[in-house]
Structure 1
Amino acid sequence: MKLSPKTKRLLWTCGVLLVLLLAGGGLFTWIKFFRQEKQVFANEAEQFKYGSLGAEGDRGIPYYLWLVLPRVFPDLMPGPGGYKSFGVVWEEGHEIPVGFSKKTVGFERITNNCAICHTATWRAREEETPHVVIAAGSPVRLQEMLRFLFKAAHDPRFNADSIMTEIRLVSANDYGNGGLSFIDRQIYRYLLIPLTKKALLEQEKQFTWMNRYVSNNQPKPPWGPGRDDAMNLTKYFMTSMPEDDTVGPTDFPSIWNLGIRSGKDKAGKQMLLNWTGDTPAVRSVLIDSALGLGAPPRPWFLQRMADLDRYLSNLPPPAWPFGHANPINQALAAEGQKIYARDCASCHVPRGEFTNKVIPIAQIGTDPERMHSWSKAAAEEANRKVKEMGIDRPLMTELDPYGYVSPPLDGLWMRAPYLHNGSV
């Protein structure tokens, strides 16, 4: 059948309109959901505190939703002050706490990075502005923050009406309505809020092990401030091993000057990292920790891990800040040096005989719970899982833990409490 010129023009016009419509829809989808804006930082320290690890796809919370959650659920918070009540470090003049990253992937999303667990502050007087120390063990109450998000997701107030009401009260820019355009408000109302709720409820299932009973119907103790159950997190996120009753919360360690804790000691023996000597390499610790935060194993991610390795391996410990106001008594320090050399140095001097080596539990007498939370089988499974992801990193130590690593004591004044593995 021969088409008339008019019919041909109509079909051609419809075809062009369809192509334009599809192209416009694709462009809209890319702009609103997938377009990435590069983060720019003044220096490596700022990037450590606020830089993304690339976890926005799986773990990113829409920014304005994250912003108003403490306002919608103040009764679920541990105290006043919003997220600061969880013990996060929040620098003056910053819109988000240290350890949080705000990145645009279609829309602005909030994720966590290494600094959430490894940044602390000090001050000499109560009225003084806190001094931020990068790579120190954080005081954050991480478990409480996780449980807050899960409780909020179960709460009937987690709905579009309640949350959008709070977002409209946020005067972020000239749009009003929380800085959101009409289209963005519809995306939040009909997509982001319900999908985030669903994602939180799904993620909660990965944390059921936190609520297991260990004995005599006694629940596992809370992690507490400045601690997490690191190896159980690794075990259940990376390996999907069956849940058990182990509980091993330990202090967030300082991670400055990592270069003196890895490689070989003065005698050529391999040094080990993590509390039970789980790995011989800084890069392995960084990769596994970032994977636990939801970072995807892509080339960009591996380059970021290499950059972090270099930065933290060379980051000096914080200097003692009170030398001018309270000079060190050199005579007493000299006496202390003798005691340290006699009783401490073999286990704690950098690259010493026993430094960054596993000291048997029977020798140090520390409680064994953190040690029991990891195993040879878990290490083998973690190594296999990482290899499946296409990541080439030094293998975790495939041995059952038998003690705890003795670390160097650089920056000791910012390392309290001073208890073996921090779990006592």
Structure 2
Amino acid sequence: MTTSCSCKTWLKYAALALAALAIIGGMIGYDRGFRQYPQPDWVTASPEMRFKYGSIGAENDAGVPYWIFYVLPRIFPEKLTQDGLVVPGGYASLGVSWEQGQELPIGFTKKTIGFARVANNCAVCHTTSYREKIDSNPVFVVGGSAHTTNVEGFFRYLIDCAKDPRFNADILMAEINRVTHLDWIDQLLYRFLIIPITKKRLLEREAQFAWIYRKDFPEWGRGRDDAMNLTKYFMIKAPMDDTFGPTDMPSVWNLKKYVWEKGHRMNYAGDSNDAYSVIMDSALGVLGAPPANKADFLEQVKWLKDYLSALPPPKYPFPINAARAATGMTVFDANCATCHASEKTGTPLPLADVGTDRGRLDSWNKGAAIKANQVVKDMGLERKGLVEEDLIGYVAPFLDGIWLKAPYLHNGSVPTLRDLLEPAAKRPKLFWRGYDVYDQTKVGFVSDSPEAKRVGTRLDTASKGGSNKGHEFGTSLSASEKDALVEYLKTL
């Protein structure tokens, strides 16, 4: 009797102890694996800082654990390549906009969800960097094209690191322990959960990104992506085809100029109805999954739409010859206003009228739009969405802030405005993208100096999707008229 009672008492206490351990373990697991903490106050101190560093929720599914992100360039420096060559400098070698004193580049967010994670927001593709001269500090303009950033290089780098046998707990933990001190709980989590899961998820991306490893496709280069193929392969899980439509990262300031009721369409080929839809779809692309918190996601999309709608285009920061610009305004009104300051502006023009590279058009169609809209609808998200019709050509762009949108044409195949005013046969056939010293004479970025060749990515206009043909408007003007026109365009 006494023995039986003692045994029951022991079992009772053992059960209580196990329950307590389970509760404590669950609390630790939740705290170190799932509890979300707000970003520091400085991130939301101003709308510009929020745009540059604020989380849009991508850390949940697309985030990389902070300490893994931190040590990858220390372990795998040889995988940071550009044009087939190893480029020193860690993540900075990818041309990201990086402000002095900041822990991470613009467009890279840090948020703790159990453990610190790094992800991206819209600023990674929509922040422009320029310098007046080679020894100047860079100026960063939010809402502009990230013309220096090698997005494809970043995608490849994470996958290539995960494919390497050295991406394992022993090697990563040894490097992490050299730069920080994790407590025993995080040591165990990193070693047995975080590192293996991160490797698995990065390797899963390889199939989705298969087309960026194709030898018959050129590299996107700095400042470009293959936007609609990204949508096709990630959102609707379409099988890989042979289309390739690289485009420049677009500027996203002053979005209020797009008025849906006037027939304005968004994106280079007019494949999206309105700014809200574009922002939502782009944000979903960054998240890489349905939003973890739909209400929070929709609030982020609304905030971005309101912020970017009111964001003014940047003023030209260098001297302007007022008399020459006045002459150029007359030239503009006579030769350019029909498309760029009329009811045609912001609407698609037939490809036959413009004559530029058709690769971007071929990478998207009505069927893909219908499927993508259904995917978003199934997430319980509402927007006007992608235009469910086949595309006819490219949108006649608004020219606000045109001075900072180089390189030009939808695929970034012409380095400066002055080059764009030459017949296609006389435009540069080979130049280097992604250098940020500004060319005040030709209006664009320096693209053929020794430093530009060292820093930038090579664009051969004979490559797939890279043709500089078309848009021969204004090419018959005299040299003085062209110079005056370019001077006027600085004022827009």
The TM-score with structure 2 as length reference comes to 0.78
Query: How far 1:18 moved relative to its partner?
Result: 3.1
The 2-side partners of 1:136 and 1:7 are apart by 73
Does 10-19 or 152-161 show the bigger shift?
Answer: 10-19
Structure 2 residue corresponding to 1:149, chosen from 158, 172, 185: 158
Does 332-341 or 12-21 show the bigger shift?
Answer: 12-21
> Equivalent residues in 2 for 1:164-313 (5 A)?
164-170=173-179, 178-212=180-214, 219-264=216-261, 269-293=262-286, 294=288, 296-297=290-291, 298-313=294-309
Look up the SS of the partner of 1:404 in the other structure.
strand
Query: How far 1:19 moved relative to its partner?
Result: 2.9
1:332-375 CA-partner distances (Å, limit 9, x unpaired):
111110111122123223xx311110011100110100011000
Are the counterparts in 1 of residues 57 and 297 from structure 2 also a CA contact under 8 Å?
Answer: yes
The 2-side partners of 1:339 and 1:10 are apart by 95
> Equivalent residues in 2 for 1:107-146 (5 A)?
107-138=115-146, 139-146=148-155
The 2-side partners of 1:6 and 1:262 are apart by 80
Does 41-50 or 63-72 show the bigger shift?
Answer: 41-50
Question: Using a 3 Å threshold, how does the CA distance of structure 1 residues 421 and 156 change in structure 2: closer, same or farther?
Answer: closer
The 1-side partners of 2:61 and 2:205 are apart by 10
1:68-88 CA-partner distances (Å, limit 9, x unpaired):
101101111121110010110
1:43-100 CA-partner distances (Å, limit 9, x unpaired):
1111111111212222111101001101101111121110010110111001111111
Q: Does 1:97 align with 2:105?
A: yes
Query: How far 1:167 moved relative to its partner?
Result: 1.3
The 1-side partners of 2:227 and 2:410 are apart by 16
The 2-side partners of 1:93 and 1:9 are apart by 61
Look up the SS of the partner of 1:161 in the other structure.
helix
Are the counterparts in 2 of residues 261 and 407 from structure 1 also a CA contact under 8 Å?
Answer: no
Structure 1 residue corresponding to 2:360, chosen from 352, 370, 381: 370
Partner of 1:70: 73
Partner of 1:347: 339
The 2-side partners of 1:159 and 1:8 are apart by 46
1:235-281 CA-partner distances (Å, limit 9, x unpaired):
111111222100001000100111102333xxxx3210001101121
The 2-side partners of 1:420 and 1:289 are apart by 18
Partner of 1:337: 329
Query: How far 1:162 moved relative to its partner?
Result: 1.7
Are the counterparts in 1 of residues 290 and 379 from structure 2 also a CA contact under 8 Å?
Answer: no
Ranges in structure 1 where 5+ consecutive residues have no aligned partner: 171-177, 213-217
The 1-side partners of 2:104 and 2:123 are apart by 12
Query: How far 1:140 moved relative to its partner?
Result: 0.7
Partner of 2:349: 359
The 2-side partners of 1:179 and 1:296 are apart by 34
Look up the SS of the partner of 2:141 in the other structure.
strand
Are the counterparts in 1 of residues 248 and 410 from structure 2 also a CA contact under 8 Å?
Answer: no
Look up the SS of the partner of 1:157 in the other structure.
coil
The 2-side partners of 1:387 and 1:317 are apart by 33
Which amino acid is the alignment partner of residue 375 of structure 1? N
The 1-side partners of 2:77 and 2:259 are apart by 44
Query: How far 1:183 moved relative to its partner?
Result: 2.1
1:107-137 CA-partner distances (Å, limit 9, x unpaired):
0001111111111211213222211110111
Partner of 1:38: 38
Partner of 2:456: none
The 2-side partners of 1:8 and 1:396 are apart by 67
The 2-side partners of 1:35 and 1:227 are apart by 36
The 1-side partners of 2:11 and 2:165 are apart by 51
Query: How far 1:381 moved relative to its partner?
Result: 0.5
> Equivalent residues in 2 for 1:386-397 (5 A)?
386-397=376-387
* Number of matched pairs: 402
Percent identity among equivalent residues? 49
Partner of 1:320: 316
Partner of 2:59: 56
The 2-side partners of 1:401 and 1:421 are apart by 17
Are the counterparts in 2 of residues 54 and 296 from structure 1 also a CA contact under 8 Å?
Answer: no
Are the counterparts in 2 of residues 262 and 280 from structure 1 also a CA contact under 8 Å?
Answer: no
The TM-score with structure 1 as length reference comes to 0.91
Are the counterparts in 2 of residues 256 and 316 from structure 1 also a CA contact under 8 Å?
Answer: yes
Q: Does 1:161 align with 2:163?
A: no
Partner of 2:21: 21
Query: How far 1:296 moved relative to its partner?
Result: 3.1
Are the counterparts in 1 of residues 243 and 363 from structure 2 also a CA contact under 8 Å?
Answer: yes
The 2-side partners of 1:396 and 1:202 are apart by 27
Which amino acid is the alignment partner of residue 161 of structure 1? D
The 1-side partners of 2:232 and 2:3 are apart by 67
1:15-60 CA-partner distances (Å, limit 9, x unpaired):
4323322211110011110010112321111111111121222211
The 1-side partners of 2:100 and 2:278 are apart by 31
The 2-side partners of 1:101 and 1:27 are apart by 26
Which amino acid is the alignment partner of residue 285 of structure 2? G
Query: How far 1:163 moved relative to its partner?
Result: 1.5
Are the counterparts in 1 of residues 268 and 410 from structure 2 also a CA contact under 8 Å?
Answer: no
Query: How far 1:13 moved relative to its partner?
Result: 3.1
The 1-side partners of 2:66 and 2:198 are apart by 11
- Runs of 4+ residues over 6 Å off in structure 1: 1-5
Query: How far 1:420 moved relative to its partner?
Result: 4.3
Are the counterparts in 2 of residues 50 and 101 from structure 1 also a CA contact under 8 Å?
Answer: yes
Query: How far 1:14 moved relative to its partner?
Result: 3.5
